[in-house]
Chain A
Amino acid sequence: MSDPIVVAEGLRKSFGDTHALRGLDLSVPRGTVCGLLGPNGAGKTTAVRILATLSAPDAGHARIAGHDVVREAAQVRERIGLAGQYAAVDEKLTGRGNLRMFGRLYHLPRRQAHRRADELLERFGLTEAADRPVGGYSGGMRRRLDLITCLILRPEVLFLDEPTTGLDPRSRGEIWDSVRELVADGTTVLLTTQYLDEADRLADDVAVIDHGKVIATGTPDELKATIGDRLDVVLEDPATRPAAAAVLNALAGAGPATAGADRLSVALPATGLRLADIVRDLDRAGVAVADVSLRRPTLDEVFLRLTDRKEPVR
């Protein structure tokens, strides 16, 4: 099955004068994790809400497993789970009460709804807190409950809008493990996030969106390759900085990014440059280096480059 399970074509959505989406295209293959990245206000939540049938696009269309999100919303809802940016569980009910209620609303028979609630609580380590009202849960527990509420029916497509925002590293790791398990079971996940390491670890493909449009797509590695490797140089003597900058400039063809008084960081062109040549040239220019390293860029650097606000947009 190579058919994409989530397809969006030319989605547009405005709120008054704010153009949240301006022709968003997206395609997610079945059984993969797609990371939707973008700065605040890029339109991620708006896109997810449209795909999850919560809001209708002004123009364009989207299909989940072949069903249109507007005209066949009922069929779409049978196939999706949504964990929104804000936890969507009932604070006054207990964790178990929430899962049982949502199980019933998914039209499971009472006994089955109860059994499924117990199963999920057990599997995701919430059994101990199960009979306390959710209002008293920690942020991490609440998000975990929110996530497992989506899993009652084992959805084909799961939308996660910033699933780990505000969580400590341990809770984030737990959510990541859960997502990986789901994907292993065949679920397709569309995930938005502010944390690029999250996309790096979880996503098969990444779509970077800015101002309501996809501006780049690819695997995390492909995206990193587009901006070339990074060269980090630490100088023994900060006074040699201008000389070092000139050398790097000549090699890389672009002005080095400042990384500190005694260090320089520069993006190298995708064409291969050998570390040995760089060190030799620096040496000839009389620059003593304490450390030099060549590395792949982080997704953060890719992201900052792609969404650079200085570039004119429209």
Chain B
Amino acid sequence: MTAIPVPLDRLRWTLTDGLTLAGRELSRLRQEPGQIVAALLFPVVMVVLFGYVFGSAIQVPGGGDYRAYLMPGLFAMVTFTAVQGVMGRMAADASRGVMDRFRSMPMARSAVPFGHSGADSLIGVPLLGVMVVTGLLVGWRPQQGLLPAAEAFALIVLLRYALGWVGVYLGLAVKDEQVAEAMVPLGLPFTMLSNAFVPTDGMPAWLRFVAEWNPVSALTAAIRRLSGSPGALPGDAAWPLAHPVAAVLLWSAALLVIFVPLSLRAYARKGR
């Protein structure tokens, strides 16, 4: 008879199976080099579009180079694409027979959601590297030294991981690759409704409120602060912008606390 697995064993298998599935995502990407190219090209296009096209007409509050102001916003924007990416991959799995096989195998129940969120982090780090190099090329510099820069990097990875779980949940909720794909364009306005591209002071009051509490703004403000990028805050800035590092930590924790259990439950109940 098989022994009842002790919790530690369970945790080990969750991690091992999650890693196997994360490896699967990477192998899948290798079969589709076009996707990698598109993912890497997207931020570069954004730098050119906003940094050089729109940027020529935008004034940075408190003065400074617009492209140095913009780069933290683009870091944040790319971080938030995790939601769409994971949602699409999770929905594709949920709509196919391969999920039935996973669920009929003696593997850890939570491995599939963990695999998807974990794989996204593995994809996210090299993506962030490309972004940093692009930023350095167009004149952005981490002014505060290495340690705060590393701190910013860690915040990005943490929030990206939490956002991956939002994607897992949404993917399980829509269950359909096409629906997930149709939702992708919604991501752009969501990230633009923030301080990533323009300061919030000029927005009408209600819009400004939304933008200041948008987690994209908190992450952007945190990166700006930790890298010493231009972009002085208005004196009456909302709490998340005045305390951006704490705000990003809180956002990450809240998303994980809500979406990890929701996703695990949705996965376990699928097909019941």
Contact = CB atoms under 8 A, between A and B. Distances in A.
Contacts of A93: 24, 27-28, 31
A88 B98 contact: yes
B106 interface: yes
B71 to A, nearest CB: 33
B107 interface: yes
B104 A54 contact: yes
B100 A54 contact: yes
Given A90-B28, A93-B28, A82 B100 contact: yes
Given A49-B271, A78-B2, A105 B31 contact: no
Interface in B74-112: 96-107, 111
Chain B, interface SS category: helix
Max chain A Cβ within 10 angstroms of own Cβ: one of B96, B103, B106, B271: B106
Contact of B104 (A53, A87, A97): A53
Interface residues of B, number: 28
Contacts of A56: 272
A107 B107 CA distance: 8
Interface string A75-94: 10110111010111110110
A89 B98 CA distance: 5
Interface string B147-165: 0000000000000000000
B97 A84 contact: yes
B24 A78 contact: no
B13 interface: yes
A88 B100 contact: yes
Given A52-B104, A82-B101, A88-B101, A104 B20 contact: yes
Contacts of A55: 271-272
A54 B102 CA distance: 10
B27 A105 contact: no
Contacts of B107: 105-107
Contacts of A97: 27
B17 interface: yes
A74 B268 CA distance: 13
Interface of A: 49, 52-56, 74-75, 77-78, 80-82, 84, 86-90, 92-93, 97, 101-102, 104-107, 133, 149
Interface of B: 2, 5, 13, 16-17, 20-21, 23-24, 27-28, 31-32, 96-107, 111, 271-272
